[in-house]
Amino acid sequence: MAPGDARKQLLDDAIDHVAHHGLTDLSLRGLAAELGTSHRMLSHHFGSKEGLWVAIIREVEQRNRAAISEVTAAPDATLADAMRSWWRHISDPSLWPNERLFFEVYVQALLGRPPTSELLDGIVDSWLDPAAEAAEAMGVPPGEARAFARLGVAVTRGLLLDLLATKDRAGVDAAMEQWIAGFEGRFSGPTAARVDPAG
């Protein structure tokens, strides 16, 4: 197996483990045992447990960005429809373990703790261009699209944090619905590339 393939396989296995069991209470040695590999191999590919956290978050974020068009692309969907579809996807309980990890490492990154601080590079900007382009395709004026995308990231992450902290599904969903309803019928455009600007 090529080195890049080995790293990818370890990362895929770690992501799957987090999705089912969480991660941050495990040492790197403990995680290695769970994944059927060695501490040395994880250290070689990721440097430290924190380095592995960052790699997991970046990969999961990339997968979510790649899934946007599939999740929201209904032929007759409005912008509000697409936003509701994305919220259902991103707030599904199956994603909560990875989202808990995201927020835990985000705080460490904000405190400047290496190597988690690397996570801040692109933590918002990586979502803005694709979301703004899709928003324009749905009729959001070009001068508003990037701010619309940034707001989508902020609202979605804020409500995800609320949901993880309170477990108040009905209350959080109602808050998201109120935000989405503000865009109902406001923008109109092509039905292609339907997407909510949220990460």
Q: What is the pLDDT of residue 78?
A: 81
pLDDT band at 24; cut points 50, 70, 90:
low
Taking each helix axis from N to C terminus, what angle separates 28-35 and 3-21, rounded to the nearest 10 degrees?
100
Please determine, for residue 5, whether its predicted confidence score (pLDDT) is greater than 80: yes
Q: What is the pLDDT of residues 86-140, one digit of tens each?
A: 999 999 999 999 999 899 899 999 999 999 999 999 999 999 988 887 788 777 8
Exposure b/e, 81-108, CB count within 10 A at least 16 = b: bbbbbbbebbbeeebbbbbbbbebbbeb
Q: List the single range of 123-127, 141-145, 192-196 with lowest mean pLDDT.
A: 192-196
Q: Are 193 and 69 in contact (CB under 8 A)?
A: yes
CA gap 76, 59 in Å, rounded:
31
Residue 167 phi, psi dihedral angles, 5° rounding:
60, 20
pLDDT band at 197; cut points 50, 70, 90:
very low
CA atoms within 13 A on the CB side of 170: 0
Q: What is the pLDDT of residue 176?
A: 97
Q: What is the pLDDT of residue 3?
A: 62
Q: What is the pLDDT of residues 175-187, one digit of tens each?
A: 999 999 988 778 7
Q: List the single range of 24-38, 70-84, 141-155 with lowest mean pLDDT.
A: 70-84
Q: All domains of the chain, ordered by start, with CATH?
A: 48-181 (1.10.357.10)
Q: Are 192 and 137 in contact (CB under 8 A)?
A: yes
Torsion sign across C-alpha atoms 152, 23, 47, 114: positive
CA gap 145, 195 in Å, rounded:
12
